[in-house]
Amino acid sequence: MRILIDIGHPGHVHLFKNFAWIMQKKGHKILFTTREKEFEIDLIKKYKFQYISFGSKYYSTFGKLFGLIEFDMKMLFASLKFRLDIYLSHGSMYAAQIAWLLRKPHISFEDTGNQEQIKLYKPFTKTILTSDVFPFSYGHKQIRYQGHHEIAYLTPKYFTPDKGIFDLLKVKKNKPYAVLRFVSWDASHDIGQKGLDIKTKHHIIDLLTKKNIKVFISSEKNLPAGLQQYQIGIPPEKMHDALYFADIFIGEGATMAMEAGVLGTPSVYINSLGGSNCQDLEQYDLVYNFSDSVGVLDKINTLINSKILKGYYKEKRNKLLKNKIDVTAFLVWFIESYPNSIKIMKDNPDYQLKFNTFAI
């Protein structure tokens, strides 16, 4: 089988990497395609996948319209050369539209509910895979599974934290530290949305540093001069190690908020978009959700002053994983058995429980 995986975000590389490695070992051919946005290509190169870059992503309204045509054409040429059997992505309109044109199936993961994006790929997509807590319904195309994207790559089966991260961060192993994540707010689904205001960002940093907690910031765009000293400077593939050993995560990005929670690190997520996945992890005391800055400082203060040890959150993580399936193993089966896997899941959704393999 020849599978083209289109990448639109660094998190998508992680989502599909274990699937790709397993499929390659089984003899299947994998090609990644992407646009240059943050550090997607760095990750793809690090993991030694075959890939094609379609160039830099556009940010203006006119640029996005032009990019839709340009990237569709590049996807078409790449697809014809690769002679693929199936497309896989997280909501890629380019993969979906060219899949329809070439009469090939496009299977998409979805967890954002971004209606603007969904309208551009859903009509051309055969199957949409969502978590069982996802709040939107997409009719007969939708297959719900009992898990989250981050479980595809951050469970003990697929991820072993590297204590060498302390040396990279130049932090002593007994020194508490926090990871903060700020987003650029220029994605299509960010229009009209908000997270932390600049005043609250400074208050958060002051609160943490006064408690002798070292601060590291990951940001989609360049930080203002007053915050540049906190810029985290590690290879992108090491970010999950940093999140695992962190004492707290605070940020506007749902992906990293979920990653921290799945790793057993208490996570404070601030974004007016909300997110059913982050809300699902709140019942495990792993992610705390806020729509704006109100109440954020109080929650952070409570968490960093708590006598609860890290082991408490690792136990919560274990409880979470026991209630979810191995998303990567499920995806391998779903693709290899496609399209029969659709009928199996429609007739017997509990079939997925055979992939509940986390013996923690």
Could you tell me if 330 and 317 lie in one domain?
Answer: no
Distance CA 84, CA 78 (A): 9
Written as six digits, the tokens of 211 are: 């408690």
Bigger pLDDT: 65 or 237?
A: 237
Could you tell me if 114 and 21 lie in one domain?
Answer: yes
Distance CA 17, CA 261 (A): 20
Contact predicate 139/126, CB 8 Å: no
292: in domain: yes
Per DSSP, the three-state class of 130 is strand
DSSP at 105: -
Bigger pLDDT: 235 or 184?
A: 235
Q: What is the pLDDT of residue 184?
A: 63
Could you tell me if 266 and 347 lie in one domain?
Answer: no
Total length of the chain: 360
Q: What is the pLDDT of residue 220?
A: 83
Could you tell me if 137 and 175 lie in one domain?
Answer: no
Q: What is the pLDDT of residue 59?
A: 66
226: in domain: yes
159: in domain: no
Q: What is the pLDDT of residue 54?
A: 95
Average pLDDT, integer, range 101-118: 93
Could you tell me if 249 and 136 lie in one domain?
Answer: no
Asked if pLDDT for residue 10 goes beyond 80, the answer is: yes
Average pLDDT, integer, range 16-25: 98
- Dump the DSSP string for 13-62: HHHHHHHHHHHHHTT-EEEEEEEESSSHHHHHHHTT--EEEEEEPP-SHH
Q: What is the pLDDT of residue 190?
A: 40
81: in domain: yes
Q: What is the pLDDT of residue 188?
A: 43
Of 242, 286, 250, 302, the residue nearest 271 (C-alpha): 250
- Dump the DSSP string for 213-275: -EEEEEESSPPPGGGGGGB--S-GGGHHHHHHH-SEEEES-HHHHHHHHHTT--EEEE-TT--
Average pLDDT, integer, range 94-111: 97
Per DSSP, the three-state class of 327 is helix
User: Which residue has 């193993």 as its token pair?
Assistant: 329
Asked if pLDDT for residue 42 goes beyond 80, the answer is: yes
Bigger pLDDT: 76 or 220?
A: 76
154: in domain: no
Percent of the chain with pLDDT over 90: 79
Could you tell me if 17 and 128 lie in one domain?
Answer: yes
Q: What is the pLDDT of residue 195?
A: 58
Q: Kindly indicate the confidence band of residue 275, based on its pLDDT and cuts at 50, 70 and 90.
A: low
Contact predicate 175/167, CB 8 Å: no
Q: What is the pLDDT of residue 114?
A: 84
Could you tell me if 315 and 329 lie in one domain?
Answer: no
Distance CA 196, CA 245 (A): 24
Could you tell me if 85 and 192 lie in one domain?
Answer: no
158: in domain: no
**pLDDT tens string 302-315:** 999 987 877 899 99
Q: What is the pLDDT of residue 277?
A: 86
**pLDDT tens string 185-195:** 444 444 444 55
Contact predicate 121/96, CB 8 Å: yes
Asked if pLDDT for residue 274 goes beyond 80, the answer is: no
Could you tell me if 76 and 51 lie in one domain?
Answer: yes
**pLDDT tens string 289-337:** 999 899 999 999 999 998 787 789 999 999 999 999 999 999 999 999 9
190 beta partners? none
Q: What is the pLDDT of residue 187?
A: 46
Could you tell me if 133 and 266 lie in one domain?
Answer: no
**pLDDT tens string 203-223:** 999 999 999 999 999 998 888
120: in domain: yes
152: in domain: no
Q: What is the pLDDT of residue 62?
A: 66
Could you tell me if 142 and 242 lie in one domain?
Answer: no
Instruction: Check which CATH number belongs to the domain holding 49 and give it.
Output: 3.40.50.2000
Written as six digits, the tokens of 196 are: 């932390």
Distance CA 161, CA 292 (A): 32
Q: Which residues contact 337 (CB under 8 A, 6 or more apart)?
A: 344
Q: Count structural domains, the chain.
A: 2
Asked if pLDDT for residue 360 goes beyond 50, the answer is: no
Asked if pLDDT for residue 60 goes beyond 80, the answer is: no
Centre a 10 Å sphere on the Cβ of residue 277 and count the other Cβ atoms it contains: 25
**pLDDT tens string 159-185:** 999 999 999 999 999 899 999 999 864
Q: What is the pLDDT of residue 107?
A: 98
Cis-peptide, bond into residue 105, ω within 30° of zero:
no
Q: What are phi and psi of 148, to 5 degrees?
A: -135, 155
Bigger pLDDT: 188 or 287?
A: 287
**pLDDT tens string 135-162:** 999 999 999 999 999 999 999 999 999 9
Average pLDDT, integer, range 78-100: 97
Full domain range(s) for residue 239: 165-321
Distance CA 136, CA 142 (A): 10
Could you tell me if 125 and 214 lie in one domain?
Answer: no
DSSP at 8: S
Distance CA 17, CA 11 (A): 10
Written as six digits, the tokens of 251 are: 């940020």
